[in-house]
Amino acid sequence: MGIYKHIDRTFQDEYKQRGELLKRRITQWRDEPSVNRIERPTNISRARKLGYKAKEGVVMARVKVERGLRKRRKMRGGRKPSKSGRFYAYRKSLQSMAEERAARKFSNCEVLNSYFVGQDGSYKFFEAILIDRSHPAIANDPYYSQVLHNKGRVYRGLTSSGVKHRGMRMKGFGTKRNRPSVRSSQRGILRV
């Protein structure tokens, strides 16, 4: 069995048993800013699967996102109280929101992918893999240079979690309006 399989198994056991190392990490991460640059990935095997390479121009960032539903302001006057629902689920995942926050913080970078690293009662923690657009080492890399053509890919749902919340992983009956996107297919229906 290769080294990365052992690393994967160790991380899974750590999550299941809620070990001391994970508890210490989460306690430390909670006090950090919401988007924080890190030197190297916490889970190296997961990062490598998603396209991470230890080279110049590749940046790692840890992002914390608040868990739970979105709370809307209470309506004032002139409406039935039963219609004033206050908690709404986001249409996109917390992971996609974390990727967007990382992209806003590092505006000269493109988000390649991200992965889950931990959670507590209040926050979920993700690590995003970012690529520096202007770095020559990235422009000369055949894998990364293709990603650079998709500018703003995280905002258009082109990362792995974006593809998932757009429903692109489903095929067959009932998925006709998912492609190319739900909004564009609705516009097409309205034009006819």
pLDDT of residue 174: 84
* Residue in 51, 159, 63 with CA at minimum distance from that of residue 117: 63
Q: Look up residue 73 and give its amino acid.
A: R
Answer yes or no: is 89 within a domain: yes
Answer yes or no: is 59 within a domain: yes
Answer yes or no: is 180 within a domain: no
Read off the pLDDT of residues 157-188 as tens digits, 9 standing for 90 and up.
999 999 998 888 988 898 888 888 888 888 77
Q: Is the pLDDT reported for residue 63 higher than 80?
A: yes
Three-state SS across 16-47?
HHCCHHHHHHHHHHHHCCCEEEECCCCCHHHH
Q: How far apart are CA 120 and CA 89, in angstroms?
A: 19
Query: What band does 189 get if pLDDT is binned at 50, 70 and 90?
Result: low
Question: Which residues form the domain of 117?
Answer: 3-69+85-155
Number of domains within the chain: 1
Q: Is the pLDDT reported for residue 192 higher than 50?
A: no
Q: Is the pLDDT reported for residue 191 higher than 70?
A: no
Answer yes or no: is 29 within a domain: yes
Answer yes or no: is 76 within a domain: no
Average pLDDT of every residue of the chain: 89
Answer yes or no: is 131 within a domain: yes
Query: Which CATH number belongs to the domain containing residue 29 in this structure?
Result: 3.40.1120.10
Answer yes or no: is 110 within a domain: yes
Four-CA torsion 136, 142, 144, 146, nearest 10 degrees: 110
Average pLDDT over residues 118-143: 93
Three-state SS across 58-75?
EEEEEEEEECCCEECCCC
Phi, psi torsion values for 161, nearest 5 degrees: -70, -30
Calculate the alpha carbon distances from 180 to 111, 158, 163, 188 in Å: 21, 12, 11, 11
pTM of the model: 0.86
